[in-house]
Amino acid sequence: MASVLKQQLNQLVSSGNHQLLKGALHGIEKEGLRVSPRGELAQTDHPIGLGSALTNGHITTDYSESLLEFITPVFERPEDALSYLTDLHRFSYQHLGEELVWGGSMPCHIHDAASIPIARYGSSNVGQLKHIYRVGLEHRYGKMMQTIAGIHYNFSLPDDFWAALQAQQGDTGSLQAFRSASYFRLIRNFRRHSWLLLYLFGASPALCDSFLEGKPHNLEHLHDHTLYLPYATSLRMSDLGYSNKAQSTLNICFNHLNTYTHSLHRAIHTSYPAYEKLGVKVYGQYRQLNTNILQIENEYYSDIRPKRVTKSGEKPLHALQQRGVEYIEVRNTDINPFMPIGIDAEQARFLDAFLISCLLVSDEEISDQECELISDNMEKVITRGREPGITLETASGEMLLRDAGNEVLSWITETAEVLDLLHGTQDYKKAIGSQQSKLDDVSKTPSAQVLKALMDTGLNHTQWLVQKSMEHRQSITASELAPQAQIAFSQQVEDSLAAQAAIEANDNLDFDHYLQNYLES
């Protein structure tokens, strides 16, 4: 694997085509619960000062009305995306009153799941569709699932890079087909090795006991109202809190674009008995959009997704089928409670080196057997990743996690050296070195640091994260928003409110017929 990567990198550098990596694009989506200073889930509406959650492209909501979602534009430099994300937080705090943006992935204490408000998007048909989809998630997985937060890291490479790589690899097909196949190559290798990201960046080894609402579990009590697993890395990525039995039948391992889209298409059009029992419209109220395994494509939970920007009214799956993969979305990143916005530039640089390495290593497909192995390794690292002597099953056989991690870091270092050559820095190798220190000393991992802080302070999960969230608010608001950014964000708010009003005014179809047309399209 390392030899293939080295060969590809050497060819890029010798031809000068590594310069095209400067055109890589980065975007970040980050969720964050609105909570009171006492650590209670906000029951207030999405603040009008942030605009319309339906039409504001940069500040919206996710599953819950209380779950903010910040979305940056795309930038060539990840540092610029992070700076924009910080500004989104800074602007939002002007309109949150005393509320805090929750600094962790697992939610605050929630005394009753019924109190979790489902996101609302106004009276338009498209707004109702978004709301009812989330009502369906409530019935299928429970409301608690709608309070988990994470960070999505979007990454793409420019067309001129793909053209150069296609020529380098001797591919004579269409550029669109080559690009899509290459992104799936990246995705396959990401899935093989993403357990390492959970070890290095997982930051949710504990949660408030209210999250499980008396459900059976194997977690241990740390102290008051706090549950944990001693060696867990990312309980957010575990199967706690929701049932995934229906989706487990999909068996999607991302070998090809056509098989991926076919599998999702089948799931969107295959009814599931348990969901049939729920009903769709009961006593005049919608419980879900349909009874299929997936209501829409976005219901499929995965740690990475192939993506394509959609046209107006176009479904994501259709966009992928027609125009191929445009970028990938990494979805397994926890919010780091020690960082003001949950992620920093060093982590972003490591992700870049990791993703480019995944693109340029082995092109082997994932067999059904390897797919099971990948799932087993993920579950092991999620729940026991810091356990002394823990082993993983790899292509080379059983290996200590530390040895397997060192092997992966050794070939990512090759990519980091090329990126440092490209940018005239040592930043990428420093990012590798920081992750190496976590393999050498497990106490340096975020998950270990979270547990240490909980134990040292004696605070429970909610109390400690309230403290961290307050610190982050103070850090973020210590600097004022630049006047130009203030004007731009304020204009986005006004434009989004006007856009929602226009959509609502122009609806000329009742929702039942709108939904029927949507599902049949």
List, in order of start, the domains of the chain with CATH numbers.
Answer: 2-520 (3.30.590.20)
Dump pLDDT digits (tens) for 168-196. Answer: 999 999 999 999 999 999 999 999 999 99
Q: From the CB of residue 502, how many other CB atoms can be counted at a distance below 10 Å? A: 11
- How far is residue 129's CA from residue 138's CA, in Å, rounded to a whole number? 14
The predicted structure's pLDDT at residue 216: 85
The predicted structure's pLDDT at residue 1: 65
Torsion of CA 306, 308, 312, 317, to 10 degrees: -40
Percent of the chain scoring above 70 in pLDDT: 98
Q: What single DSSP character describes residue 170?
A: T
Is residue 246 pLDDT above 70, yes or no? no
Given CA atoms 490, 493, 494, 496 in this order, what sign does their dihedral have?
positive
Residues 107-119: what's their mean pLDDT?
Answer: 96
- What lies within 8 Å, CB to CB, of 57 at 6+ separation is 71, 492, 496
The predicted structure's pLDDT at residue 2: 75
Q: From the CB of residue 358, how many other CB atoms can be counted at a distance below 10 Å? A: 25
- How far is residue 338's CA from residue 468's CA, in Å, rounded to a whole number? 7
The predicted structure's pLDDT at residue 20: 97
- How far is residue 170's CA from residue 156's CA, in Å, rounded to a whole number? 21
The predicted structure's pLDDT at residue 52: 98
The predicted structure's pLDDT at residue 242: 46
Is residue 508 pLDDT above 70, yes or no? yes
Is residue 114 pLDDT above 50, yes or no? yes
For 17, the token pair is: 């085509």
10 Å CB burial of residue 368 (0-12, 13-18, 19+) is exposed
CA nearest to 330, candidates 145, 187, 473 = 187
Residues 200-211: what's their mean pLDDT?
Answer: 97
- Measured in residues, the chain has a length of 521
The predicted structure's pLDDT at residue 127: 98
Is residue 329 pLDDT above 90, yes or no? yes
Mean pLDDT, the chain, rounded, equals: 95
Lookup result for tokens 């970028």? 327
Confidence band, pLDDT 50/70/90 cuts, at residue 240? confident
Is residue 214 pLDDT above 80, yes or no? no
Is residue 456 pLDDT above 70, yes or no? yes
Residues 227-239: what's their mean pLDDT?
Answer: 95
Could you give the residue ranges of the DSSP H alpha helices within 272-388? 273-278, 316-323, 345-360, 368-384
| ∠ CA 100-103-107, rounded to 5° | 90
Q: What single DSSP character describes residue 107?
A: -
Centroid of chain to Cα 232: 19
Torsion of CA 398, 400, 403, 407, to 10 degrees: 40
Lookup result for tokens 């999250």? 211
For 54, the token pair is: 């339906």
Is residue 243 pLDDT above 60, yes or no? no
Dump pLDDT digits (tens) for 122-142. Answer: 999 999 999 999 999 999 999
Is residue 98 pLDDT above 90, yes or no? yes
Dump pLDDT digits (tens) for 24-78. Answer: 999 999 999 999 999 999 999 999 999 999 999 999 999 999 999 999 999 999 9
- How far is residue 381's CA from residue 68's CA, in Å, rounded to a whole number? 29
- The 3 state secondary structure assigned to 6-44 is HHHHHHHHHHCHHHHHHHCEEEEEEEEEEECCCCCECCC
10 Å CB burial of residue 88 (0-12, 13-18, 19+) is buried
- How far is residue 493's CA from residue 224's CA, in Å, rounded to a whole number? 41
CA nearest to 103, candidates 349, 468, 497 = 468
Dump pLDDT digits (tens) for 298-328. Answer: 999 889 999 999 988 888 999 999 999 999 9
Confidence band, pLDDT 50/70/90 cuts, at residue 396? confident
Torsion of CA 322, 325, 327, 329, to 10 degrees: 100
